[in-house]
């Protein structure tokens, strides 16, 4: 089976997301750091992304992302049309990575207040490594359905973590 690779970001491409919404039941309110992470992740994705529904060329797309019964739900629409596609993914394969990522992020946020720069840098390297692992796992889980470029996968992993973070 040939490997399907998304194209590099092209702002005129049909293979991209133009809007992202979050399912209301998926959003935990109260922690400003988490809400800011969500906002930044959405902004970064929309700034530059490559998002391809495998076997289709009918974008650009909109994405409603939610967590329902511990499953990640991608509801994908076409810009300006009513058709939608829904993909449901179990969070189980991502759970260990996300748990480790949350622990390292908490350590990082604590460290930036009082730790020396060398300690902050060490924690940040671990945080980035877990983030890369999570984005690769997400891309693998979406294989055969949705192809993402590396940056879009990283940003989408950030958004999923911000949705799931109990902080």
Give per-residue pLDDT as tens, 3-17. Answer: 444 555 566 678 899
Are the beta carbons of 154 and 40 closer than 8 angstroms?
A: no
Dihedral sign for Cα 76, 52, 48, 99, please: positive
Q: Which domain range does residue 115 map to?
A: 17-164
Q: Does position 148 have pLDDT exceeding 60, yes or no?
A: yes
Q: Does position 99 have pLDDT exceeding 50, yes or no?
A: yes
Strands (E), the chain: 17-22, 51-53, 61-68, 71-78, 84-90, 146-148
Q: Is residue 24 part of a domain?
A: yes
- The confidence score (pLDDT) of residue 131 equals 93
The whole-angstrom separation of Cα 22 and Cα 48 is 19
Q: Whole-prediction pTM value?
A: 0.84
Q: Is residue 63 part of a domain?
A: yes
Number of domains in the chain: 1
Q: Is residue 45 part of a domain?
A: yes
- The confidence score (pLDDT) of residue 12 equals 67
Strand partners, 74: 65, 87
Q: Is residue 102 part of a domain?
A: yes
């Amino acid at each position: 089976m040939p490997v399907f690779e998304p194209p590099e970001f092209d702002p005129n491409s049909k293979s991209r997301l133009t809007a992202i919404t979050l399912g209301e039941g998926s959003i935990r309110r109260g922690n400003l750091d988490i809400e800011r992470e969500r906002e930044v992740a959405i902004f970064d994705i929309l700034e530059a992304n490559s998002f391809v529904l495998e076997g289709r060329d009918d974008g650009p797309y909109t994405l409603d992302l939610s967590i329902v019964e511990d499953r990640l739900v991608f509801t994908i629409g076409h810009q300006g049309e009513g058709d939608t596609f829904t993909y449901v993914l179990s969070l189980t394969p991502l759970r260990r990575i996300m748990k480790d990522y949350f622990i390292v992020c908490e350590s990082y946020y604590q460290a930036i207040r009082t730790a020396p720069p060398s300690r902050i840098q060490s924690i940040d390297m671990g945080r980035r490594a877990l983030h890369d692992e999570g984005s690769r796992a997400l891309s693998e889980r979406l294989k055969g359905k949705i192809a993402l470029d590396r940056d879009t996968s990283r940003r989408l992993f950030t958004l999923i973590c911000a949705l799931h973070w109990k902080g």
